[in-house]
Amino acid sequence: MSQGKRKDQNFAPFARRIAQPCGAAFATFVLAAAMVQSLPALAQSPQPAAAEAQEAYRLQPQDKLLIRVMTWDFRQNSMTGWEGLSGEYTISPEGNLHLPLTGSLSAVGLTQSDLADQLSDLLRRRAGLDDQPQLSVELVSSLPVYVLGAVEQRGAVPFHPGLTARQALALAGGIFRTPQSADIARGIMLSGEATAAADRLRWLKAEQARISSELAALEAGDTAPAPVAGAAPVGDVQSQLQDADRHARQVRLDSYNDLQTVLRERGERLQQQLALRDEQIAATRKELEDITSLNERGLAVNARVTSLSTSLNDLEAKRLELETAQLLLDEQLNQAERDSSTISTDAIADRLLRLSQLQSEISAAEIQERTARAQFTAMMDAATPQDAGTIAETDLTFVVTRGADRNEVSPEARLMPGDTLDILPPSVQANEE
């Protein structure tokens, strides 16, 4: 009995049962739905040529399946999933499938449709249902196929029903290409890497020579040494930045030198003012002593003594202000001298740090250049004259190992989960013979 007829028979009692409370119109609707569900089964009936050529996949151990069990919900008037039964299940290595209610079922060798029919019948009998539940089985994944031999990427490739030996070869990256045909692009890349590393190494060494020359000049007392001719490429951005840094350092040095000159000139004027105040204080003190002596003898008035005392006090206060200004000026001059010397100290420290960085970069560039050249040389040595050709698919032999059996197959042979496919080039075939 076909699947379409069986579905019609399953829905007929159900339609009669609900027709009584719901009326003839609803029964007609349900019968129409049953006919619509039977259409896919009719559409899947064997076709003259294509359907017969495409044999259904038969389940294998460790296949992972998605099983959906549908029942009719009378309250919602719709099909709903059966909670606790629908889900993913894996066929055991022994070939059994375990589901709630159905127990253990031998699934290996069945098609998905056969397994759905058996599970539906078991569920109907075990659960005491009047009609068989609607059930679908989908293949989620299977064991991979293991591809070895003359392929680009040996290892496991995913299996899908209908996978052929030729398709597995494509999934493994295609036919293995010999070093000469496969590594042309890599050889160009390695040669470019070696050239780039050599250019960078030359630039780093020139930079090292320039920094070393500037450091020697700074340690000798030249606060802003001129660039060394030929030490770095003309127009190089790094050289331009260093020229700008050198110019900025010279501007700062000139500014501090000008500030020190101004402060020293101001200090000289303060010294002159202090000397003048000392002379005024000495003259005023001498005059006050003379007037005091005359006043004691009654030859001078007290007002004159008081006036001279006030003038002396004012002169001494102004001299104290000048001394304070002199101290502040000396402190500013000392700070300017320290800042000026710090410029050179900082420049020396920067160049020492840069030399340390350059040494690390030079070592890395030397390693990169040696590695790239060694890889390029090894690749060229491996590209011997007999590697010049490229293997064609017609030269290959496809051998499938399935369990204990090992057989030569055609490129269009279908594979099974867990198969090992050996793709042998002509040289291996000759050795085996």
- DSSP 8-state assignment for residue 425: -
Q: Could you tell me if 110 and 118 are in contact, meaning their C-beta atoms sit under 8 angstroms apart?
A: yes
> Which regions in the chain score pLDDT beneath 70?
1-54, 73, 178-185, 222-239, 242, 381-391, 427-433
Residue 18 lies in a domain: no
Q: In this predicted structure, what is the pLDDT of residue 99?
A: 86
* pLDDT at residue number 183: 59
Cα(225)–Cα(246) distance, integer angstroms: 8
Q: What pLDDT sits at residue 293?
A: 83
296 lies in the same domain as 308:
yes
DSSP per position, 103-143: EEEE-TT-BHHHHHHHHHHHHHHHHT-SSPPEEEEEEEE--
Closest CA to 218 of 362, 350, 84: 350
Asked if residue 300 belongs to a domain, the reply is yes
Residues 356 and 397 in one domain: no
Query: Considering the domain boundaries, does residue 355 fall inside one?
Result: yes
Same domain, 325 and 410: no
**For residue 409, what pLDDT is reported?**
94
In which residue are the tokens 């293991």 written? 146
The secondary structure of 264-284 as a DSSP string is: HHHHHHHHHHHHHHHHHHHHH
* Distance between CA atoms of residues 31 and 18, nearest Å: 11
**Does one domain contain both 112 and 259?**
no
What is the model's pLDDT at position 216? 87
pLDDT value of position 224: 54
159: which 2 tokens? 């299996």
- What is the tens place of the pLDDT at every residue in 289-298? 888 888 877 7
Look at residue 351 in the predicted model and tell me its pLDDT.
84
Residues 6+ apart with CB under 8 A from 129: 123
- Is the same domain home to 312 and 341? yes
Residue 204 and residue 220 in one domain? yes
Burial of 46 (0-12, 13-18, 19+ CB in 10 A): exposed
Query: How are beta strands 145-149 and 420-424 bridged, if at all?
Result: parallel
Give the list of residues 6+ apart from residue 98 with CB closer than 8 angstroms, or none.
89, 92, 104, 105
User: What whole-number distance in Å separates Cα of residue 330 and Cα of residue 186?
Assistant: 70
Q: Which residue range(s) make up the domain with 399?
A: 146-175+391-424
How many domains, the chain? 3
Looking at the structure, tell me whether residues 285 and 351 fall in a common domain: yes
What is residue 250's predicted lDDT score, i.e. its pLDDT? Answer: 80
pLDDT of residue 219: 81
Q: Which residues of 360-369 are buried (b: 16+ CB within 10 A; e: fewer)?
A: ebbeebeebb
Average pLDDT, the chain: 78
φ, ψ of residue 408 to 5 degrees: the values are -80, 135
What's the pLDDT score for residue 54?
61
Residue 230 within a domain: yes
**Do 214 and 348 share a domain, yes or no?**
yes
Residue 355 sits in the same domain as residue 208: yes
> Is 430 a domain residue?
no
* Residue 162 DSSP class: T
Return the pLDDT at 419.
94
Report pLDDT for 145: 95
